[in-house]
Amino acid sequence: MEKHKPWFLIPVLALIWCFLSGALNLANFVMGLLVGSLTVFWFRPFFPWHTSLLRLFRKVPAFLRYLRRFLYELAKANVQVAYLALHPKMPIRPGIISFHTRHRSALGTTLLANSITLTPGTLTMDVSPDGRTLFIHTLDVSNPEEVREGIRRGLEDYTLGVAE
C-alpha cells in the first residue's frame, strides 16, 4: 500500500482556511493552498506518521465512536464536578493514581492523556519514560480501582480504536 507524505493535508488546510475566513471562493482557496503549503513544508519534520489515505478513512467510524463517548464522559464529569462543588460538605478526597495504559504508540498515549485532562475532575500530570503509565490527579481517590476502570471503559477502550 502506498504511503503518503503530509502533503495530502494541503487541500484540507486550504478548505479550513476558507471556512475560517468565512468565504469559500477561488481567491481564498488559492491563499489557503499557499498557507497550507508553507505550513506543511515548515512542520513536515513533526509528522512522524506516514499512513495511507485508505487507513485514515477506515479510522473514521472509530473516531466518531470515540468522539461520541468523549462528549458523554465530558458531560457526565461536568455534572459530577458541579455536584461536588455545590455540595455543602464538598465530599472530595483528591489524590494521584497511576494508570497502566494498553496503548503502544505515542499518539495513542497522547490522545488518552489529553482526553483525561480535558475531562473535569481529572488531570494527567505525567507519563512514565516508557510511555505506558500515566499519573493522574483525581478529585476522589477513595476507590482507585473504580477510577482506573472508569478511565479504561470510558476513554481508553475508545482511544485504542482510533490510535492503534
Q: What is the pLDDT of residue 2?
A: 44
In angstroms, the Cα distances linking 71 to 36, 142, 155 are 30, 25, 10
Q: What is the pLDDT of residue 55?
A: 66
| CA-based nearest residue to 160, from 101, 119, 114 | 101
Q: What is the pLDDT along the chain (164 residues), one digit of tens a residue?
A: 345 566 777 888 888 888 888 888 999 999 999 998 888 878 776 665 555 556 666 778 888 899 999 999 999 999 999 999 899 998 899 999 999 999 998 889 999 999 999 999 999 999 999 999 999 999 999 999 999 999 999 999 999 988 87
Q: What is the pLDDT of residue 1?
A: 38
pTM of the model: 0.70
